[in-house]
Amino acid sequence: MITNKQLHVLGKFLDRPLQLVGDKNDVPILKENGLNVQGYISIAKHITRTSKQHALLGKTPTEKALVDQWLEYVSLHLQDNSETASNLQELNQFLADRVYLLGHFVSLADMLLYFTLHETFNELTFCDKEKYIHVSRWFDNMQYHHNFANMYKLVKFHKTLLYSSS
Amino acid sequence: MGFGDLKSESGIKSLNDYLAKRSYIEGYEPSQADSVVFSCLSGPPDVNMFHVRRWYNHIASYGAETAKFPGEKKDVNAYGDVTSVPAQSSAPDEDDDIDLFGSDDDEECEKLRQQRLAEYAEKKAKKPALIAKSNIILDVKPWDDETDMQKMEECVRSIQTDGLLWGASKLLPVGYGIKKLQICCVVEDDKVGTDFLEEEITKFEDYVQSVDVAAFQKI
């Protein structure tokens, strides 16, 4: 689930504090300079676009489209906890030959996916983390590289592979 | 430390294992470590080594920027972790830590063990394989007193299979003018069993009433 907390963390990361209107169960609204932006994804994109790190949204039209696609994926597919296993399986396959979702650079999609998967990964067993080795690698890289550690608890990963790779 | 010879398959393999759970050689962003190891590779790795391949493509995407990565260049053997060292790596261990488990000794032991195993396997291969054979004497009893014993013997001898050799035979009187056929044969234990012989012989039910194993000797 994307939550208000994640938007705040993202705002902090982008060095762009924000005020949200609307309580937990409502769709959040961002009020800024007489502008109303409603909805998680819209707010995330808006604050990224207006920050210094707008490159996170992609530079070329293709990259922008891919970021949008992944944002939609995150908001549509990862809301239901009952499908965690199949989602991880899918992501694992996708990340097998990629370092980031878009291949070679970090995007907003990676950020939001990291936020969304954090809770899931916190509960995964080491065996499962190894099973989804590609997602784990991506996750581990995200949590260290971007210093989310201050805002999110570090998830531990084994340094050596314990279980025979399947 | 080090991955061994990165031009060889075993070196690539150890790099592959190392990169299974890492996106970069060191840390969490591209550094000189990546560009050093990258320059040691002879070209794009094999498709099977998909971890190396992913990393290779990623580093390659930076193009000329690889020279500007942060960090300092070190010798290629300074990268990687201890567990990924292939056996034939001769890279000197620069680790100053006290090694509680004496990995050097372990390595020697391992080498010695491998050598002994190889010697043993060689010895074993040279030794001619012994084929176990047995000499079996069968008593074949005819159906009744009118059975043509010559015909019966022909039938028995017509059974041919790999590892079966028929030997001498003679007719022994049982009583009331009835004779039985005692026939000798040599079989290879792995290929022919007494069950097989009995089954095959009793198939000639017009002639044969029963078959017994009179003697069974290992040769």
Does residue A15 lie in a domain region? Answer: yes
Residue pointed to by tokens 């991506």: A138
pLDDT one digit per residue (tens) for chain B, 219 residues:
577 777 788 888 888 888 887 888 888 888 888 888 888 887 788 778 888 888 888 888 887 787 788 888 877 777 776 544 444 444 444 455 555 555 556 677 788 888 888 888 888 777 666 678 888 888 888 888 788 888 888 888 888 888 888 888 888 888 888 888 899 988 888 888 888 888 888 888 888 888 888 888 887
Residue B150 sits in a domain whose CATH number is 3.30.70.60
Chain B residues with beta carbon closer than 8 angstroms to that of A144? 27-28
Does residue A164 lie in a domain region? Answer: no
Chain B residues with beta carbon closer than 8 angstroms to that of A141? 22-24, 28
Number of domains in chain A: 1
Does residue A54 lie in a domain region? Answer: yes
Does residue A150 lie in a domain region? Answer: no
Does residue A34 lie in a domain region? Answer: yes
Does residue B101 lie in a domain region? Answer: no
Question: Do B139 and B66 belong to one domain?
Answer: no
Give the domain range for residue A37. 4-145
* Partner residue opposite A133 with nearest CB, options B20, B57, B58: B20
Does residue B124 lie in a domain region? Answer: no
Does residue A73 lie in a domain region? Answer: yes
pTM of the predicted model as reported, rounded to 2 decimal places: 0.57
* Partner residue opposite A98 with nearest CB, options B22, B27, B54: B54
Question: Do B72 and B144 belong to one domain?
Answer: no
Do A148 and B28 touch, CB atoms closer than 8 A? Answer: no
Give the domain range for residue B74. 9-78
Number of domains in chain B: 2
Does residue A135 lie in a domain region? Answer: yes
Residues of B with CB under 8 A from a CB of A: 17, 20-24, 27-29, 50, 53-55, 57-58, 61-62, 81, 83
